[in-house]
Amino acid sequence: MSSLSRDDVAKLAGLARIEMTEAELVELASQFGMILDAVARVQEVDLTGVKATSHPQPMENIARPDVVAPSLSPEDALSGAPAQEESRFRVPQILGEAE
Amino acid sequence: MIRKSAAEMADALAQGETSSAELTQAHLDQISAVDGQVKAFLHVDAQGALAQAKNVDEKRKSGEKLSPLAGIPLALKDVLAQRDVPTTAGSKILEGWRPPYDSTVVSKLKEAGIVILGKTNMDEFAMGSSTENSGYGPTFNPWDLARTPGGSSGGSAAAVSAFEAPIAIGSDTGGSIRQPAALTGIVGVRPTYGAVSRFGLIAYSSSLDQAGPFGRTVLDTALLHEVMAGHDPKDATSINAPVPAVVQAAKSGDVKGMKIGVIKQLQGEGYQKGVQTRFDESLQVLASLGAEIVEVDCPSFEFALAAYYLIAPSECSSNLARFDAMRYGLRTGDVNGASAEAVMSATRDAGFGREVKRRIILGTYALSSGYYDAYYGSAQKIRTLIIQDYAKAFTQADVLVSPTAPTTAYKIGEKVDDPMAMYLGDVATIPVNLAGICGMSLPAGLAQEDNLPVGFQIMAPAMQDQRLYQAGAALEAALLSKWGAPILSKAPVLAGSK
């Protein structure tokens, strides 16, 4: 039986940049064992020598000529911005005070 | 008029018996009458729809050559960006966002003169199988308003089965078109991966996502498929090849001499009795039409669900990193002195629902160092085995078949606290996504124990989508003559319905 503790979930939530409430952490930790047991079934198969597939179609790099084409105007690009200033996205401070 | 097929509506428009404006108004009236009960739509764009309808009517009057679906109303899953129209993907994190561009699918709809009535409800970011994970409340199944219409494209499926739109668009990452089609008694197709552009389709799991059509008939679904599909330089995974002749196949509908493979692993135990009965009956119908029924073995399918619930959450944990509260969408916690990271974390907690958080955390875990090979790496290898199972099966049969979903529509709330029970509903649809091939669900009748619709799934190799329509149209015609009336005529009439 797999399990993750409340602290394990809190660490993952931190990595995923989701500030979860205590109730959410506890709920998720309680569900995780069951979900991990179910997905861990992929380890029951002998996969020696089997290649991994990341994508269903054969992929190749696609390039186009480097020519200027119409794109979003600054007004359009900023149209959904939560905050803007001088035709730019305004964001909170990136470096914390302690650093 | 709203109960006719899109093909019949298109004929009526061509004959001048009605106008697109009239047809669009009739559907807007039906939405006003029943959507309070069904809740298929998140946003109805009456003004935009009527403007497009009038535009098409004028073009028709002036003798301009129009595409077959010009003037036909459609419901659009809210996962596709439409310029200046609210687009949320069912998430609070995108509430109020109006995209500054059209997805390629929307551009194609507009070019074809199709009238977009509005945006339909869905599980948040297409993560779910019941539409209950929407940030805006569930959609209700027109067959029984206490039940879910399936998901994640439940709004689109419910809109078509409630006659709010003759055709609709959904997206299918693990069965999100086929399963709701099955649960609401309509036709839904997940085209081959890469057949329909993903440009402007809000990403959940990029190697699995594919948009596709819903209709009440196989032909209507084919007509929409033809409009949506085709190569797009804006999507690097878009296949540069002609669109398969799906409309022609839907019109010919013939299975004489066709080899139909029944997948051993996708029937029997775990499938509701009435689902299995209707499935077996459809097989007999196909055999009576001259198809040869064979059984095929796909042993790796047993592990498909486990592989899917590692691959999709892994990809989603990466894709949804774009919701960072900086460029568009919700921003909370931006108080004086708060860091960008704190704002991002607070916003993602406030904006994402339970299932989305669950999948992001699961994906973050599966991709973390020390666990990567055991989880994500193994899942990718299972994916290879599933592709090999299909390749072998398609040497023995032209198309493969199974029930679309193991059960009929279940009650709202029944599985919402049991994620594994919910995930099991995708057991028959997921293999198609992992292999990148195409699949259709069409109505096979009603389960005897609950009188709810059952879906019959047909699968075909990549870029052989026409085979789905060829077999589907033949089965549809034979079942229609057996039943005497389309399956939706057996659905209860909603209060106030036109």
pLDDT digits (tens, 9 = 90+) for A23-77: 999 999 999 988 999 999 999 999 999 999 999 887 778 888 999 988 999 999 9
Residue listed under structure tokens 């805006």: B136
> Is the pLDDT at B134 greater than 90, yes or no?
yes
Residue A65: inside a domain, yes or no? no
Residues above pLDDT 70, as percent of chain B:
100
> Is the pLDDT at B51 greater than 60, yes or no?
yes
Residue B161 to residue B178: CA distance in whole angstroms: 14
> Is the pLDDT at B238 greater than 50, yes or no?
yes
- Which of B:431-460 have CB within 8 Å of A? 434-437
Residue B351 to residue B168: CA distance in whole angstroms: 27
Half-sphere exposure of residue B346, counting CA atoms within 13 Å on the CB side? Answer: 13
Residue A97 confidence (pLDDT): 56
Residue A34: inside a domain, yes or no? yes
Residue B399 to residue B411: CA distance in whole angstroms: 32
Residue B104 to residue B186: CA distance in whole angstroms: 25
Residue A43 to residue A45: CA distance in whole angstroms: 6
Strand partners, B456: B403, B442
Contact B174, B208 (CB under 8 A): yes
Residue A38 to residue B307: CA distance in whole angstroms: 10
Using N-to-C axis directions, what is the helix angle for B354-366 and A6-15, rounded to 10°? 90
Task: Indicate the pLDDT class of residue B416, thresholds 50, 70 and 90.
Answer: confident
Residues above pLDDT 90, as percent of chain B:
96
Residue A24: inside a domain, yes or no? yes
The token duo for B127 is 């993560």
Residue A18: inside a domain, yes or no? yes
Residue A26: inside a domain, yes or no? yes
Residue B228 to residue B153: CA distance in whole angstroms: 17
Q: Say whether A35 and B307 touch across the interface (CB within 8 A).
A: no
Question: Which chain B positions have a beta carbon within 8 Å of A81's beta carbon?
Answer: 327-328
Domain count, chain A: 1
Single pTM value for the model: 0.97
Residue B44 confidence (pLDDT): 98
Q: Indicate which of B360, B382, B463 best probes the interface with A, i.e. most A CBs within 10 Å of its own CB.
A: B382
Residue B177 confidence (pLDDT): 98
- In this structure, the number of other CB atoms found within 10 A of the CB of residue B305 comes to 23
As a whole number, mean pLDDT of residues B68-85 equals 98
Residue B95 confidence (pLDDT): 97
The pLDDT mean for chain B works out to 97
CA distances from A59 to B105, B229, B239, B314 (A): 22, 19, 10, 20
B495: closest CA of chain A, how far (Å): 39
Q: Say whether B348 and A16 touch across the interface (CB within 8 A).
A: yes
- Which of B:288-327 have CB within 8 Å of A? 300, 303, 305-307, 309-310, 317, 321, 324-327
Question: Which chain B positions have a beta carbon within 8 Å of A30's beta carbon?
Answer: none
Residue B494 to residue B498: CA distance in whole angstroms: 9
A60: closest CA of chain B, how far (Å): 9
pLDDT digits (tens, 9 = 90+) for B365-395: 999 989 999 999 999 999 999 999 999 999 9
> Is the pLDDT at B458 greater than 50, yes or no?
yes
pLDDT digits (tens, 9 = 90+) for B461-498: 999 999 999 999 999 999 999 999 999 999 999 999 98
Give catalytic residue positions of B: 77, 152, 176
Domain limits at A34? 6-43
Residue A52 confidence (pLDDT): 95
Residue A29 to residue A36: CA distance in whole angstroms: 11
Output b/e per residue, B121-132; b: 16+ Cβ within 10 A.
bbbbbbbbbbbb
> Is the pLDDT at A1 greater than 80, yes or no?
no
| Residue A56 or residue A96, greater confidence | A56
What residue ranges define each of the domains in chain B, with the CATH number in brackets?
A: 6-301+383-490 (3.90.1300.10)
Phi, psi of B390 (to 5 degrees): -65, -45
Q: Say whether B358 and A34 touch across the interface (CB within 8 A).
A: no
Residue A90: inside a domain, yes or no? no
Residue B212 to residue B176: CA distance in whole angstroms: 10
- Which of B:185-224 have CB within 8 Å of A? 193-194, 207
B374: closest CA of chain A, how far (Å): 7
CB pairs under 8 A between A and B: 178
Residue A96 confidence (pLDDT): 59
Output b/e per residue, B463-491; b: 16+ Cβ within 10 A.
bbbbbbbbbbbbbbbbbeeeeeebbbeeb
Among partner residues B100, B344, B374, which is closest to A17 by beta-carbon distance?
B344
Q: Do the strands B187-190 and B399-403 form a parallel or antiparallel pair, or are they unpaired?
A: unpaired
Task: Indicate the pLDDT class of residue B165, thresholds 50, 70 and 90.
Answer: very high
Scanning every residue of chain A, which has its alpha carbon at the shortest distance from the alpha carbon of B356?
A18
Question: Which chain A positions have a beta carbon within 8 Å of B436's beta carbon?
Answer: 55-57
Residue A62 confidence (pLDDT): 82
A62: closest CA of chain B, how far (Å): 7
Residue A96: inside a domain, yes or no? no
With vertex at residue B258, the alpha carbon angle to CA B253 and CA B261, rounded to the nearest 5 degrees, is: 115
Residue B464 to residue B471: CA distance in whole angstroms: 12
Residue A79: inside a domain, yes or no? no
Closest CA relative to residue A54, chosen from B423, B17, B402, B367: B367
Residue A99 confidence (pLDDT): 46
